Structure 1
Amino acid sequence: MLIVVDGANVVGSVPDGWWRDRAGATERLRDALAAAGPGALEGAALDDEVVLVVEGAARRVPAVPGVRVVAADRSGDDAIVDLLRREGTGDEVVVTADRGLRDRVTELGARVVGPSALRISRR
């Protein structure tokens, strides 16, 4: 399974001052995902891949072991849709609360869960 995390949307779901340092908030999300591994999402298997899609000021955030980072050239939503079109096999989960993105990725066969489905520490 491919677990695709809408970085901007998930970071923005917690009002912790992320807007003062978008890249730093994204790095904290990436690190929490890496620490949890695929177990960040209930029902995931150890060999599932976690992909964090970033945009804007967070585009400089690098990958770490356990989390592939995809920097969007345009919008993060478009990058997620492009990723699913390229790599989708019908076994993808997208983590987002964005209704427009939800509609776009479910048309491609992906399952969507909200940010609260992630079992990670958000500190």
Structure 2
Amino acid sequence: MTVLLVDAANVVGSRPDGWWRDRAGAATRLLERLAGLVGATLAGPDGEPLTCTAVIAVVEGRARAVTAPEDVGVVRATGSGDDALVAEAERLTTAGQELLVVTADRGLRARLPAGAGTAGPGWLLARLDELPPPG
């Protein structure tokens, strides 16, 4: 039973698909896809099964105003997205949640609380590509 905490800007920026022309639109598309993971059992980063109980995405900048599907929690960073993600990770681990943070940012990974697992955007995008398209 794992909560996925997603560095949305980092994941969106990991694929050169034109996201820079419409950052908010790219974030919205990611959030819509993330909804398909809630309740799903996935191959975890270590290959072991992982049951995703919740998805929370941290958005920043122009993406802060995006609308998210009901099943996806959103943390809207008013300042640094990294600071907001670390604060949310601390809140979740303090509450006893098993946590997997999705980011490629090594500096951010070093700031996470003990016990928080990590995975890169490639792992998440591969899992999303295994799902049927939203809608």
Query: How far off its partner does 1:62 sit?
Result: 2.3
Task: Check conservation: 1:102, 1:112, Cα contact below 8 A.
Answer: yes
Unmatched 5+ stretches in structure 1? none
- TM-score normalised to structure 1 length: 0.88
TM superposition outliers: structure 1 runs of 4+ over 4 Å: none
User: In the alignment, which of 110, 128, 132 is matched to residue 120 of structure 1?
Assistant: 128
Task: Find the counterpart in structure 2 of residue 104 from structure 1.
Answer: 111
Between 81-90 and 16-25, the greater mean CA deviation after superposition: 81-90
Aligned residues between the structures: 120
Query: How far off its partner does 1:14 sit?
Result: 0.4
Between 30-39 and 63-72, the greater mean CA deviation after superposition: 30-39
Task: Check conservation: 2:3, 2:97, Cα contact below 8 A.
Answer: no
User: In the alignment, which of 46, 60, 67 is matched to residue 62 of structure 1?
Assistant: 67
User: In the alignment, which of 25, 46, 55 is matched to residue 50 of structure 1?
Assistant: 55
Task: Check conservation: 1:55, 1:71, Cα contact below 8 A.
Answer: yes
- TM-score normalised to structure 2 length: 0.80
Task: Check conservation: 1:10, 1:115, Cα contact below 8 A.
Answer: yes
1:1-123 equivalence runs, <5 A: 1-39=2-40, 41-42=42-43, 43-45=49-51, 48-88=53-93, 89=96, 91-105=98-112, 107-118=113-124, 119-121=127-129
Q: Choose 1 or 2 for highest CA Rg.
A: 2
Task: Check conservation: 1:84, 1:108, Cα contact below 8 A.
Answer: no
Q: Which has the higher strand share?
A: 2
What's the C-alpha RMSD, in Å, of the aligned pairs? 1.9
